[in-house]
Chain A
């Protein structure tokens, strides 16, 4: 077990390095990506650009530049080329909003995904299953930016059925009630896609599990239906859901809910990433990349540990 953890930790560092380095390479190769030219503006002379290059260290070989940038990130000194603001500070400012969005939406989509998938499976072929299937497909098909805007149009203040705030984020420390009130719509808008998707996945795994021999054995034992469903069917069907949830949740924590954050003006890490990309601002892009990759690899690792806990067959002997 100890060896397993150490190996995984080394692997995580390597993945972080590889992802950040490849992102860096892509960035310096894309047309119009040269920071010096962008900073100097349209009317800059060759001398202006050369001065900026020198100042930002862009005259060094690319691997030295990469190293410098990584060093600055970890020393919390890296600033944006555009706003000159400290990128780590900016990410930290976005963290509460992003975490609030991810945790709330994660709970909602996991809960409803399991409920919907289970109901759908145990009533397979009947009306409730068909209805859920149609709703799930609609949920999966609706793009977040569209659903978010329609939600705001219909449900936000001063709109036809308005009873929710239009957008924005209120820190939980300032007012927990306002915090939740402002997040209800973003949570559900983000969760809809996942509910539909998880519901479909769980439906099929539950249907597979119900036909397993051990479920028949459990029925022949005379245990209650509820216990049969929870202990024998769901307990085994939820294992693949754990993988999905670990990765999806990590992606949203890592700023992956760019559209939701942008539509609702949550000022989270995702929105910061989106802004930086539109202005091709390298330092924040690199910092957000590392930040997001960190969550992905950490959650991947947690999923593996959880897996071993859930399924004794894959526990290291």
Chain B
């Protein structure tokens, strides 16, 4: 096994708010090897973005508390100083954000925004940095790259802006690329183009990717490994194949069942997971998914650990049901043959 590029252990992030302490991330472990793509999946507010932003120290603030460890190439990032982190940001770990419409500075030329980043990390002159920016624009598929680097963000469409963001993220050849819902704000056709672009660049450059999304279709396309997050915790983790073909956690079933599929008979009603994600200030007792889980039983008032319950041993989950019980019940949810309907 190759040494992990990024190793996250027992990560907890808490924010003090007026309503109480929000446990946004509540004990997350994962590691990322060179060249692999990890998909972190979950619905809004499950802590997936906070997890990724914490890797770069972007959630630091007066009201934030951190526990655990984030090691990047052996360097602890959670306790690193701002100046140490600055060297990692962009150069070691780069990030693409969800909304390309608001993620670029509206009053600065896009090329300058990338040049600024290159020159923050490397001692090169402006001309060389501009040249590299132009090359990056060509690489991410922006036409007329040489003149487009002098355009302002509002002169680009959403998909093109996301290409600019990707060019920026790749500018210093990072080891890890974090893509936080990179396609959520885009049209479906553009989504496919952007995903293909990320896949292509990952293959060409051998970059590791953390792909954060609520869309299992997106991870199916790109990810090698998947971590399903719910209420600040990972509830199921494994390779893409084992998660898709042998999902163990009822929440994962719900996510899989809520995707419309054209390769299966049309269900009477598309599955929806009933209820709302739990409060992160006062989470439910035991398994966090228990209040929304149709299969909950007495044991669920105690939270199961994230351990291997099935083969392969890398496939971990947090559910008290036996593997046989799971296999017997999950198809109802995933294939939508059940009468279990949205509330």
Contacts and interface: CB of A to CB of B under 8 A. Distances in A.
Interface of A: 125, 212-214, 216-225, 227, 231-232, 235-236, 310-313
B102 A221 contact: no
A221 B152 contact: no
Given A213-B97, A213-B99, A225-B82, A220 B56 contact: yes
B285 interface: no
Interface string B151-179: 01010000000000100100000000000
B58 interface: yes
B87 interface: yes
A223 B104 contact: no
Interface stretch (B115-123, B198-206, B219-227): B115-123
A222 B104 contact: no
B91 interface: yes
B31 interface: no
B103 interface: yes
A214 B56 contact: no
Contacts of B95: 217, 220
Given A213-B99, A312-B154, A313-B106, A222 B82 contact: no
B212 interface: no
B299 to A, nearest CB: 42
Q: Is chain A's binding surface mostly helix, strand, loop or mixed?
A: helix
A46 to B, nearest CB: 68
A15 to B, nearest CB: 29
A232 B102 CA distance: 13
A213 B95 CA distance: 12
12 contacts: A125-B62, A213-B102, A214-B105, A214-B106, A217-B103, A218-B105, A219-B89, A221-B117, A236-B105, A313-B106, A313-B107, A313-B154
Contacts of A214: 102-106
Contacts of B97: 213, 216-217, 220
B89 A222 contact: yes
A313 B104 CA distance: 13
A311 B105 CA distance: 11
A311 B116 contact: no
B89 to A, nearest CB: 3
Contacts of B78: none
Nearest to A216: B58
B247 interface: no
Nearest to B172: A222
B86 interface: yes
A222 B106 contact: no
B169 to A, nearest CB: 8
Nearest to B102: A213
Interface of B: 53, 56, 58, 62, 82, 85-91, 94-95, 97, 99, 102-108, 113, 116-117, 120-121, 152, 154, 165, 168
Contact of B116 (A213, A231, A310): A231
Contacts of B103: 213-214, 216-217
Nearest to A225: B82
Contact of B87 (A219, A222, A227): A222
A296 B53 CA distance: 47
B154 A220 contact: no
Nearest to A310: B107
A227 B89 CA distance: 15
Nearest to B154: A313
Contacts of A213: 97, 99, 102-103
Contact of B90 (A125, A220, A231): A220
Contacts of B53: 216
A125 B102 CA distance: 26
Contact of A236 (B56, B106, B121, B154): B106
Contacts of A231: 105, 108, 116
Nearest to A219: B58
Given A213-B99, A216-B58, A222 B88 contact: yes
B56 to A, nearest CB: 6
B58 A220 contact: yes
Sort A-B residue pairs by CB-CB distance and give the 8 closest, nearest first. A222-B89, A222-B90, A213-B102, A221-B117, A312-B152, A214-B105, A223-B120, A220-B95
A243 to B, nearest CB: 15
A227 B116 contact: yes
Nearest to A317: B155
